[in-house]
Amino acid sequence: MRSICCVLTALVSLPVGYGAEEANSAAPALGVAEQEAAEGFVSLFDGKTLNGWRGATDGYVAEGGLLICKKKGGGRLMTTEEFGDFVFRFEFKLEPGGNNGVSVRGHEIQILDDDAPGHRNLKPCQYHGSIYCKVAAKRGHTRPAGEWNSEEISCQGSRWKVTVNGAVVVDVDLATVAGAESLARRTKGPLGFLGHGARVEFRNLRVKPW
């Protein structure tokens, strides 16, 4: 999470099929489910190694089917592959006060324990699911720290959508957002995580390139 100014845009929260129940599973399901594989999803994480990832590999560990951002670790962990238009699905679990981010085309989508006392006075565009300091996410859809959450991020051209636990919290054409013009013009990049020293667990990382 960086401290810069933000530009807000109107949001609508809509229920969708993915994410409302998936994160309730107690154990990671390695690989990709048959239905998702048929839709074109592929796994980004083998559950055992950081093969296919580059960057701050000393700040993360593969353990028990989880990709874990270490406490007092983290940094920029990126896929070796770049993606243009895509749908990215994953599950995450934060410790109290946890903070991380998803790197999409070189910009951060926030991962945050919104309810932590130290996060009470942030700008709206700094809370979970926000396109950091560009577009504020609709709040109130993350589960408490220590519980699993599901998230889906899709990018198609300059339209970005973020879904948390089955609720759309961002759905925006960045080409219409003042201050986001350069981001709207970006067409590809790696996916990754942006750890800030808090332990965050990830699982079931899969992507469908368009």
Q: Is residue 15 part of a domain?
A: no
The CATH number for 188's domain is 2.60.120.560
For the entire predicted model, the pTM comes to: 0.88
Q: Is residue 16 part of a domain?
A: no
Domain count of the chain?
Answer: 1
| pLDDT on residue 58 | 98
Percent helix, strand, coil in the chain (nearest 5)? 10, 40, 45
Q: What pLDDT, in 10s, does the model give residues 121-172? A: 999 999 999 999 999 999 999 999 999 999 999 999 999 999 999 999 999 9
Place of tokens 């945050």: 112
The pair of structure tokens assigned to 26 is: 């107690």
Residue 174: pLDDT band with limits 50, 70, 90: very high
